[in-house]
């Protein structure tokens, strides 16, 4: 019984699509003037309102009232199929005791409206949500036959992954603009504010406010966490912007062995531990090389060798002034002090030079003390 009803319903839908076809052939059953009559002419077609149906079943009305068909399962509501000359819309569905003005599916000149009237500019319009349900792979594709372009939105069959796929570039537009806000090339490069990204991610912004031309990352995570990370060749040496639990922001740079080579804190101590640092130079030859002037209130240097107070020890071999004179005449510089040529070639090590100058001052002090003693001795003999 169920199969027979479904078959009849399918025939009703198919036949109703031919309401306005020209009349031909003869009906086996028809209803002239409200009464049912039959003919015997070998045909199996059935006509309602016409003795000459061109299809298995045809409903014909020659009045201004819409042709309609209703199925009702008492005491349930009616299911309607109708066509009206007034709007020329074939309407399927809709429930109620009277024929609805609009069906669930509405067809006009090949265009379809679901839950709404068809539009002449669209093949199909839907008033409401659209769902695609399947047990496996599911997708919704948009294709152009003139240039073989294609856009697909779907879910993969072996996981819960959703995807958007385009045969060419992929554009994201907002506010009905034709200028893309985001653009993805065929090669996978992403441009934000540009359709010509020159890197994996290229951001271009022409806003006038200072902070609007930036990439902003806000985090409300109270525990320590990464904001931006990068690693080299999958070695796990994550580096980038790090947010400790102290509301601080840190820049961490780690080498292939995951050792922190540099850490710059927004509030707290910072350090470099990854090699020589150059300021004004790209080839630093010391832990800190500065090609320029250093301006500081004070510089404190840790000693890694004894200060020259040993000069005042009793057994210190103090060079006499006459020996010093001979050395200066021969070498043109003080003993132990580098020559001008050596300082020009090798530079001056401030710690060593300061200690050396202090040593010479202490030696000079000893000579002055000795000379004063001699002067006092001479004065006492007068």
pLDDT reported for residue 125: 92
287-328 pLDDT per residue, tens: 889 999 999 999 898 888 888 999 999 999 999 999 999 999
Among 222, 276, 227, CA closest to 246: 222
pLDDT at 4: 40
Residue 5 has pLDDT above 70, yes or no: no
Indicate if the pLDDT at residue 381 is higher than 60.
yes
Every domain of the chain and the residues it spans: 2-126, 164-207, 225-290, 308-380
What is the reported pLDDT for 3? 40
| Residue 163, C-beta contacts closer than 8 angstroms, at least 6 positions apart | 152, 153, 154, 155, 156
Average pLDDT over residues 177-199: 92
pLDDT band at 359 (very low <50, low <70, confident <90, very high): very high
User: How many CB atoms are closer than 10 A to CB 48?
Assistant: 18
Dist. CA 262–CA 270, nearest whole Å? 8
Q: DSSP labels for 124-175?
A: EEESS------SS-EEEEEE-TTT--EEEEEE-SSSS-EEEEESS-EEE--T
Confidence of residue 74 (pLDDT cuts 50, 70, 90): low
HSE toward the beta carbon, residue 166, CA cutoff 13 A: 11
The pair phi, psi for residue 257, each rounded to 5°, is -90, 10
Give strand pairing partners of 230: 239
| pLDDT reported for residue 216 | 78
pLDDT reported for residue 325: 94
Of the ranges 8-17, 38-47, 79-88, which is most confident? Answer: 79-88
Amino acid 353: pLDDT: 92
Q: How much is the pLDDT for 183?
A: 94
Top pLDDT among 326 and 100 is at 326
Average pLDDT of the chain to the nearest whole number: 81
Q: Give the pLDDT band (50/70/90) at residue 334.
A: very high
What's the predicted TM-score (pTM) here? 0.55
What is the pairing mode between strands 46-48 and 67-72? unpaired
Q: What is the pLDDT of residues 103-162, one digit of tens each?
A: 888 889 889 999 888 888 888 999 988 887 887 788 888 888 888 888 898 888 777 788
State pLDDT tens for residues 226-269. 888 888 877 788 888 888 777 788 888 888 888 888 888 888 88
Tell me the backbone φ, ψ of residue 354, rounded to 5 degrees: -65, -40
């Amino acid at each position: 019984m169920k199969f027979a009803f479904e078959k009849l319903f399918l025939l009703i839908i198919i036949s109703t699509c031919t309401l306005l076809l020209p009349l031909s052939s003869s009906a086996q059953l028809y209803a002239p003037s409200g009464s049912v009559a039959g003919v015997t002419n070998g045909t199996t077609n059935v006509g309602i309102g016409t003795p000459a149906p061109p299809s298995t079943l045809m409903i014909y009305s020659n009045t201004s009232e819409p042709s309609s068909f209703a199925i009702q399962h008492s005491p349930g509501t009616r299911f309607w199929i109708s066509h009206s000359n007034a709007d020329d819309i074939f309407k399927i569905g809709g429930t109620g005791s009277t024929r609805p003005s609009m069906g669930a599916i509405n067809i006009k000149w090949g265009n379809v409206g679901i839950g709404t009237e068809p539009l002449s500019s669209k093949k199909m319009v839907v008033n409401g949500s659209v769902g695609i349900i399947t047990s496996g792979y599911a997708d919704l594709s948009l294709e152009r036959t003139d240039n073989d372009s294609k856009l697909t939105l779907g879910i993969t069959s072996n996981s819960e992954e959703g995807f958007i796929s385009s045969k060419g570039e992929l554009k994201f537009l907002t506010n009905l603009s034709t200028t893309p806000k985001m653009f993805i090339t065929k090669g996978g490069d992403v441009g934000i504010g540009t359709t010509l990204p020159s890197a994996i991610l290229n951001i271009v912004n022409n806003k006038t406010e200072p902070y609007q031309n930036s990439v902003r990352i806000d985090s409300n995570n109270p525990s320590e966490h990464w904001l931006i990370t990068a690693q080299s060749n999958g070695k796990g040496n994550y580096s980038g912007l790090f947010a400790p639990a102290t509301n601080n922001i840190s820049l961490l740079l780690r080498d292939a062995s995951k050792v922190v080579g540099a850490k710059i804190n927004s509030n707290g101590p910072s350090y470099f531990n990854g090699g020589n640092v150059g300021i004004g130079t790209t080839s630093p030859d010391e832990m800190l090389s500065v090609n320029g002037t250093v301006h500081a209130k004070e510089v404190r240097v840790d000693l890694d060798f004894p200060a020259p107070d040993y000069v005042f020890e009793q057994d210190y071999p103090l060079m006499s002034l006459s020996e010093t004179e001979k050395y200066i005449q021969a070498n043109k510089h003080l003993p132990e002090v580098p020559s001008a040529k050596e300082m020009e070639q090798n530079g001056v090590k401030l710690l060593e030079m300061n200690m050396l100058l202090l040593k010479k001052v202490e030696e000079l002090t000893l000579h002055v003390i000795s000379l004063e003693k001699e002067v006092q001795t001479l004065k006492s003999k007068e």
